[in-house]
Structure 1
């Protein structure tokens, strides 16, 4: 089994999960990151956890419709609804996706194939056509993913966040 590399964690500047692909790309481009960096940074979330508050809109009021996101797998919708009931505790954590990480490219392929990602951003990247071209240039081995992710993570960590009167960090 390959073990992910470790390196000192830099303070990452936050991106907003509900923003559009164009906005996110603009933010990253203004910081000298490109589309490949965007996908690598998004893929890193496959191994993470999400608070209910970051995706309950997809479960109960997607795009202000009062209904769930119809592109979300119905079985996964039920699972997420049990973990994050409407008007429930928004700080509850759940896996960012239901697939146990083994080989990253297999994970990402399954997430897209079965529409099982609570993140609106991952869905938006796929719909914008960013994911397939990037996946085809990235090795399926998890080691290769980590190696391709180091540079964007380091770049992202070196971005100086706006603070004080110039910006607000929640």
Structure 2
């Protein structure tokens, strides 16, 4: 009878933070589950990074990894729309890396699925405020099956065929 009067109390265990400072003072981020990947082929390139092909691996908690002939770094992204929409925009902030002089960079890519031909338009700004000339190209969207985000490395077979 006392139990019926007290009601039921539910206690949920608190989920651990995905981003923490470890005991050595380093930022540690847990990468989420893989979702999608874009394979990009640039038609118009940034002169300082003349790499025509790249692959971006996306993870469900907003982490991405990009690899190309000259890039290999992680960052954060926010998706406006859905990967399944005819057009959507993704905003990226790269984590400090050698790729960007140990600093960050901001990119915005808009993807348009044209059926037989899918294109993207890219705008970017460096941490100094320099606006990089607009870039563009074609892309393929596939499922990301890479569960270990540290694994992907660039190789020519990753380019759009």
User: TM-score, normalising length from structure 2?
Assistant: 0.25
User: TM-score, normalising length from structure 1?
Assistant: 0.24
Quick check: which has more Rg, 1 or 2? 2
* Greater relative contact order structure (CA < 8 Å, 6+ sep): 1
Whichever structure has more helix as a proportion of its residues is 1
Whichever structure has more strand as a proportion of its residues is 2
